Structure 1
Amino acid sequence: MTTPPETPPRILLVGGGHVGLYTALRLQQRLRPGEAELTLVDPKSYMTYQPLLAEAAAGAVDPRHVVVPLRRVLPRAQVVLGRLSGLDPATRTATVTVPAPVHGHTERDLQLPYDLLVLAPGAIPRILPVPGLAEHGIGFHSVEEAVSLRNHVLAQLDLASSTRDAALREAALTFVFVGGGYAGTGALAELEDMARYAAKHYPGVDAEDMHWVLVEAGKRILPETEPDVGLRTTAELRGRNIEVRLGTRLESVADGVVTLSDGSRFAARTLVWTAGVRASPVLRQTRLPCDAQGRLRCDATLRVLGQDGIWAAGDGAAVPDLARVGECCAPNAQHAVRQARVLADNIVAQLRGEPLTEYRHELKGSLTSLGLHKGVAQLRGRALHGRSAWLLHRAVHLRRVPTLDRKARVLADWFLAGVLKREIVSMGALEQPRAGFEMVMEQDRE
């Protein structure tokens, strides 16, 4: 009588962002055929490379090239489109809610057993109860929002060029960004640079007519970086006539009027909310140990405290920073990518009965792009700005973009954007693709 073959260990990864994708890619490289089964769960079928989102919004990179199709790059993994809705560590079973196969039907739940679990659902925008924000704010967390914001900015230039209403024109040319972190600062700088170029093609609109405002509640922008980088970036933006309001909060948005905590009030048709992120709320629902920010408490090997076989990393994990005793690793892409590598290696080590490795990484510097040929960086104590910082930013992120396919596409986009003129077409109809068809139908009824 033959003995039935043992079922290989089941590795379940929740989240297809930086941690989920890079962990899965590393596991594909290191696991032997049949050594384990990989399953990745995420609501979307692609991963977004967040550091290039601002360049996608400004048209320097095709939005399709800052996303990575999960099924294409993970041939050894089963990709399940859905969201984690329940977890039972005792039976090692995760409940995943998946969309209905037919429109109009209800969602359904799948029970996915696992032997090893990686929780990396990422972060969501941190929304504050500001009056009018829900009705008038624009987010900047996904590639869809980046494309929509680009279309919106170009539409405002078109409106300002065609109207004779001075008040409407002023509101259309006022752009307010709330949140001075990487996302807000980069998005404002890239879009301002794009709009400055586009204004040449809109009669009656001059670049100096536009009013760009960056609102930051803290004492400096780019709080994730060294103080010198934030100060230098502030000086760079103000040199471009961009208002940087520090120690200021958004109080309300009503009837198209933005009110700030310093008493300022002005009309604006564009309000972009980039005031930070917070850990996915699904982590608290798992009833695993979390800190005050809702992040899973982990040890230096990236295992969730008190849990055998559950791992976490990235924005949703409170990982001790061994380079800064008593602190946790900052929630940024630099840590996430490196943690994913250590996490995957530790999973392989556990499967093979080998010792685990602690995550240790000391940030060597920081950099940000502020538009075409513009940037600020600090590397190993050396400050860079202008074209050199911009080139360094592109070199670093080209190296980090996952897969050779995406690297080639991004590099081609940068090359073409350098030798050809910018595209200044607003494709707002993409957000309402049936609008034209519905209008024709309505006319036929008449």
Structure 2
Amino acid sequence: MRADLLPLSFAGLFVHFMEHKYPEFFARPSSSSSGDAISGDLSFLPSTGPRAGTIWEHSDDWHGYNIEDHCNGLLLLSKNCVVNPATRQWNAFPPCPAQDCTRWNMWYSSHLVYDPMISPHYEVLMIPCLRDNNDRICDEDEADLSMEESEWPLSPCKMYVFSSRTSCWEDKYFVREGGAARTVGEMRVGWQEFNEAAVYFRRALYMHCGAAFLMRISLSDNAYRVIKTPIVMKVDGSLDINIAKSKKGVYLVAFEEDKCLLRVWILNESCGQMEWMLKDDIDLNPVLVRHRFNQRVRGHWILEDINYNWFRSIRSLNDFKEASTEQIYEWDSDNDDVQDCYYHNKESHDDNKSYDIQILGFHPYREILFLSESSETGITGLAYHLNGSKIEVLGNICPKGYSYFNMNDDIQYFMSSPYTPCWTGEFPPKN
């Protein structure tokens, strides 16, 4: 198989903002003349409301374009669809037949597994997760109280797996190797609004569960292992923990917002042991302040603004601009070094100014962490290089005309993810 068709290069970041229908693509425009464009424009998918661009237009599938997961060039959408935005191929699959789990106060997290170097087929896993005590949907009289004393995760752990090879769902039971994390009752305490993110690395799925552990799920032998994390998520939400991967392995990224402290670990799996090795422990304030003092801006990345172009311009021809999908977005892998880029601030630096830092993702092949920094003057995309502890300013990531989509004008991300395009033509045929 041709290496240039495989997901071996980094193209940019998909960023899905709350109240936007489609994800946006944030990347550096390339001078390439190949004509291959990456875009968040998913309007080629079937839709019951193709012109419905805002949540108040009551489109049945408005939330169907939320990106639930991604893997090696494919996106898993909440409308039971897997799509390749590079080739614009897609494949719908039937709803999961998961049984009602109200009595145990559980829900299922959906994840995508795809490796074109092994097979053109993908799998979707529905993995059971616990609701916390603040999000329980039945009271103690209705719940199975014996469940609260059970070990978690369960063993065997029942998961639902859809295969594009068979086009059907299958119940699969995964056996735990080693000890459990905690009891169910203990797991329900200590976390809020947690996102069970996952990464696929070397034929295993690593899923961040609860506040203090990962599940390493081996799909080849239907087994899983609990991996304790080196840090526990705080109840007040001030600690942002993300799981990521690069070519060197699986990472855990923790950002303590109130102190602007960043810590990064890599998982050492040599000799059958699971050990977290600290890669970086830094106060980002001094690094960021150097950019905030400077008045120049040299960020070259562009946000696609597909939602504004498609929906806002339909209703206001005076604001129309040519759709940006004609631009080509491609990460220049030969130019990953820190460039002469500076943070843009229209006013003089003010130590009392409030900045909000959020993690956008991790470079899939280099030790580079993508961040966004928000203030009253806008949102800037940043790249933090672990090797050298330097910040690169990427560009403006504030979506155009966002107040049209969100009455509160409060910009929030639903999700963000790095994207490695896959150009192989062996994707399962469209339905």
TM-score (norm. length: structure 2): 0.24
Q: Which has the higher contact order (CA 8 A, sep 6+)?
A: 2
Query: In terms of Rg, which structure is larger?
Result: 1
More helix by share: 1
The structure that is strand-richer by fraction is 2
